Structure 1
Amino acid sequence: MTRSVSQTSDPRCFLRFIGGILLVTTALTASGCKPNESPLKDENERLRKQVTKQESVLISLQDGNKVMQQQIDLLNRELRDAKKETERAEAERRAMAAMLGAKVEENKKLSAEVQRAALTKAQASQSLRVEDKGGQSADLPRPLTAVFKAAEEALTRNGYTVRVGVKTDQKAVYVTERKTSSPPSLEVPGFRNQYLLSLQALPPNGTRLSIKAEFEKMAQGGRVLPAGPEEKAEIERRLINEISKALEVPNKL
């Protein structure tokens, strides 16, 4: 009985052994026929990394182009602004040049007028010959400017118009128009008079006032009556007193 069991179990073990060998052989055969995918995966990974790197470089270049374009736009805008500013400055320069040219011409005209006025004044000053002989003089303790202003006011107040007036820093000369007063009656004569005033600055702050009157008495019918030296002197002293009174007014320079 034992022997038959042993014979019966041996084929099973053999089959199991053969089956195991076949399974191992099949597995080995299958594993030997399947291709190795590891190099392809590595190559794909390497290519993927290169693509990613290239995309990053491309993005960086695009960003750089944007920044560069922004800088170009900014430079173009600055150039346009600079051009406008240059054009505005050029327009202002042309306007200023035109204004300066007009001012130069105006100054030339004014200079010519001043020279003509100075020449006329010099000629008038040279043509005047002040004769103090026979006139009345007084030294006043006031500056020249104050005295000739007071003289002008006194002459105007008494009805005398200045015919010629020449003023410098040190001297002033006035010649009045001839004033005529008709005789009111046969007994009372009229007069005809003209004043010559000379003002000379004195140190330190005074003025010498000299007055000469060409005084004549007039009878009816236009007849000229002689006037004595004392009458002329009185007329001259009267104007000196009028000027002195004008200087006494407050705030009179």
Structure 2
Amino acid sequence: MSPAASAGGLLAHLEAHRGDVDLRLELTATPGRPVALVGPNGAGKSTTLAVLAGTHRLADGRIELAGRVLAGDGVDLPPERRGIGLVFQDYVLFPHLSVRDNIGFAVRVRTGRAAGRAAAEPWLERFGFTALADRLPAELSGGQAQRVALARALAGEPALLLLDEPMAALDVEVRAEVRAELGELLRGLPIPTVVVTHSRADVEALGDEVLVLEAGTVTQHGTAAELRAHPATPYVARLFASTPE
């Protein structure tokens, strides 16, 4: 067992094929140190999340999380048995469910509505949603919907959190505030997190470690400061020359 995985972390050796993407990468993530996966469109970022989550098959390699093999070595656990929470860029809240029932949905499916509502309560309080608990998603702002989606993912007590472009659907005016809150939250979680983005601001605020993915391969790995000071590819140079959103 790897040190990262035995400490509650993620160790993934991924080979996968999806459309024009041939993905080959190694990814390690430990609790309290979010990993930002950044790259241009078509680089394989979404494929990486799909393979980790179990919605796309691993062609070769191994995924180990908190000492448990999720895929590889003859194992291929279905998504519902992997213990992974996902937050998508459009949040995908259930429009007919209240904030409370959206947050408690994963627990509700497993053990019933009462348990789901009980599981939602600490997250309602933590995110300041107690007064909004009975509202429907259509009554929320973009920032509030993003927080509800995050609370829903965490209420299921996942062993790994995956976020796909978490700022993309937000208005520019609120991104900085939400980004700062999210960075603080991710660094305080007892589980590893992986954030997919194409944004310099997300990389700098949310990624303690940064993997640059180009054409399915990691072309640079380090901190945002290291990548900014010594870009290894033209894409990395352009990324850090851009104006943060």
Give the TM interval when normalised to the shorter protein: under 0.3
Please identify the structure whose Cα radius of gyration is greater: 1
Q: TM-score, normalised by structure 1?
A: 0.17
By percentage of residues, which structure has more strand? 2
Larger RCO of the pair (alpha carbons < 8 Å, separation 6+): 2
